[in-house]
Amino acid sequence: MMNLADSAPVTNNLLGSEADSQRTLYPYVTGTSVIGIKYKDGILFAADMGGSYGSTLRYKSVERLKSVGKHSVIGASGEISDFQEIMRYLDELILYDNMWDDGNSVGPKEVHNYLTRVMYNRRNKFNPLWNSLVLGGIKNGQKYLGTVSMIGVNYVDDHVATGFGNHLARPILRDEWHENLTYEEGVKLLEKCMRVLLYRDRSAVNKLQIAKITDEGFTLSEPYSLKTFWDFNAFKNPTLGAEGSW
Amino acid sequence: MFRNQYDTDVTTWSPAGRLFQVEYAMEAVKQGSAAIGLRSKTHVVLASVNKASSELSSHQKKIFKVDDHIGVAIAGLTADGRVLSRYMRNECINYSYTYESPLPVGRLVVQLADKAQVCTQRSWKRPYGVGLLVGGLDESGAHLYYNCPSGNYFEYQAFAIGSRSQAAKTYLERKFESFMDSSREDLIKDALFALRETLQGEKMTSSICTISILGAGEAFHVLDQETVQRLINEFEVVGEEPPADDEAAAPDAEAAAPDAAEGAAPDQGAAPMDI
């Protein structure tokens, strides 16, 4: 059935792989925003548990926050299968690190930069891992929080987000984040951001988890929902004054 | 050591379970000019005696910077040493590039040892004829290691290799217990004293020794000649002997602490690699 023309090796190596079916062209099952913030004792992450299949909110128990070794947490948005692949790479990285058994261990900075190399190299082969990742952690009291995109863009900050979170959550964080947030304050701030995302991001689902990492270790909350209020005046007659809309 | 019928190939065992080619490689280390290393909790000092083949030539480089946080001093076939230094630099820089973090010295040392071991188990290779004193930092502080042509490595508080290194080791064995808490300056001074022992009466000047140091917050670097000469002059003015506890720090030179300067009994019939 396969055309001979398709199976002949492509001489144009700019695209890296032989046939198009071998490269990632578009994502299928995707997660939406992840938010991460530094707080007094470490890092807090929030992400919902939705896995969208295009416009369908198909999977509602997808864990998009995972721990990496003893010191780091990763949160992913984008293609879920690629996130699973990334987790395999990271589990292997941690395994070999542990096998040295020498008192040294990879911290969040090392994991972040390792991921950057992976993402950027895949991007250069035109076969990206279709994710935006948030990577944070704490080691020897030093807090670290950064992000990597599918094209290998890497930066660190006191608060980071992926996707819609950059547009809806970060302005809130720029106003309200400060260095000495307690755990309760941090969670409240994250919930405020997640609520906005729930209202305004169509791929958000109302079932989220909060992950925390401190020098004591990693915890991942049980999934829970946010209370929402739909009787805001702004939500009633939303198109009032918008000519031509309905 | 005498020639025998089991020493032609590195892949031939002797009936006593020795690999003579590897032991001969370790002899090459003993023929090189001395190199010394000592460490405290926070710093490592590497020092070497500069041998020049003639007055007209420059001396061989025996101390190499591997990374900001790792340095190495070699004794033996310096060409082999250069090649291994390049390997170490490569490993460090690749790790830094991927992880934006310095390669822990303990891991580099194991990689180096594994590389040396390969040469003891291939018929078409020969062991590296160089001993390396690797000083570096990792998460748990400053460390000093000695890498052997045999593929073994050991961690030390202080050590000396190369010709007349026994004199330096004797000095270090007396003083090593105080090194952990030594200040940076005292550590350098002790290195100079130990180096002086290997000169056996020859006049000590900054042109025949090289001193290097690295520490937490201090990148590896070689001290310049002026500084070294000034330090030499300081203790030559004060007097012959190194200051303080010569007696107090020597409970029992034999029953030394776990990290004691080792290698005191090279080949008394026991294969050196067994130590």
DSSP string over A91-137: HHHHHHHHHH-SS----HHHHHHHHHHHHHHHHHTT----EEEEEEE
Token code pair at residue A128: 């990206």
Distance in angstroms (rounded) separating the CA atoms of residues A87 and A74: 9
Distance (Å) of CA B242 to CA B72, B190, B218, B246: 26, 8, 26, 8
* Cβ-contact B178, B245 below 8 angstroms: yes
Give mean pLDDT, residues A19-43: 91
In degrees and rounded to multiples of 5, residue A57 shows phi and psi of -85, 85
Instruction: Tell me if A21 sits within 8 A of A6, measured CB to CB.
Output: no
pLDDT of residue A132: 98
Task: Categorize the per-residue pLDDT at A245 as very low, low, confident or very high, splitting at 50, 70 and 90.
Answer: confident
Query: Cα dihedral sign for A121, A123, A127, A128?
Result: positive
Q: Please report the pLDDT score of residue B273 as a whole number.
A: 55
Name the closest residue on chain A to residue B96, using Cα atoms. A110
pLDDT of residue B240: 56
Tell me the per-residue pLDDT of B71-117, one tens digit each, with 9 for 90 and over.
999 999 999 999 999 999 999 999 999 999 999 999 999 999 999 99
**What is chain A's mean pLDDT, rounded?**
92
Give chain B positions within 8 Å (CB) of A106: 99
For residue A7, what are the contacts with CB-CB under 8 A and spacing of at least 6?
A19
Q: Where are the domains of chain B?
A: 20-258
What is the distance between the alpha carbons of residues B26 and B147, in angstroms, rounded to a whole number? 11
**How many degrees, rounded to 5, is the angle at CA B259 between CA B253 and CA B263?**
65
Partner-chain contact B99 A104, CB within 8 Å: no
Give the ipTM: 0.86
Bridge-based pairing of strands A131-139 and A72-79 is antiparallel
Q: Are the beta carbons of A134 and A36 closer than 8 angstroms?
A: yes
Q: Nearest CB to B98: which of A102, A105, A117? A: A117
- Catalytic site residues of A? 24
DSSP A2-33: --HHHHSPPS-GGG-SSSGGGS--S-SEEE--
- What's the CA gap between B140 and A173, in Å, rounded? 37
Which residues lie below 8 Å from residue A41, measured CB to CB, with a gap of 6+? A138, A183, A214, A215
pLDDT of residue B239: 59
pLDDT value of position B274: 47
**What per-residue confidence (pLDDT) applies to B267?**
42
B→A contacts (Cβ < 8 Å), by residue, are 97-101, 104, 106-107, 110, 138-140
| Inter-chain residue contact A104 with B107, CB threshold 8 Å | yes
Distance (Å) from the C-alpha of residue A140 to the closest C-alpha of chain B?
Answer: 10
Chain A hits for B107, CB-CB cut-off 8 Å, are: 100, 102, 104
Task: Tell me the shortest Cα–Cα distance from A65 to chain B, in angstroms.
Answer: 22
How far B96 CA sits from the closest chain A CA (Å)? 9
Instruction: Report which of A141, A31, A12, A32 is spatially closest to residue A80, judged by C-alpha positions.
Output: A31
Residue B87 CA to residue B63 CA, distance in Å, equals 15
DSSP A150-162: TT--EEE-SEEE-
How far apart (Å, rounded) are the C-alpha atoms in residues B196 and B250?
A: 20
Confidence band of A20 (pLDDT split at 50, 70, 90):
low
B20-258: CATH, from 3.60.20.10, 1.10.3720.10, 3.30.70.3280, 3.40.50.880? 3.60.20.10
Closest residue in B to A100 (Cα–Cα) = B107
Q: pLDDT: is A202 or B51 the higher one? A: A202
CA distance B275 to B264: 10
- B140 closest CB neighbour out of A103, A109, A117: A103
- Whole-model pTM over 0.80: yes
B99 vs A100, A102, A110: nearest CB: A110
Burial class of residue A14 (count of CB atoms within 10 Å of its CB; 0-12, 13-18, 19+): exposed
Query: Running along chain B, 275 residues long, what does each successive block of 10 average in pLDDT?
Result: 91 96 96 96 96 84 97 96 98 97 96 97 96 94 97 97 96 95 95 94 89 96 95 79 48 39 42 50
pLDDT of residue B251: 41
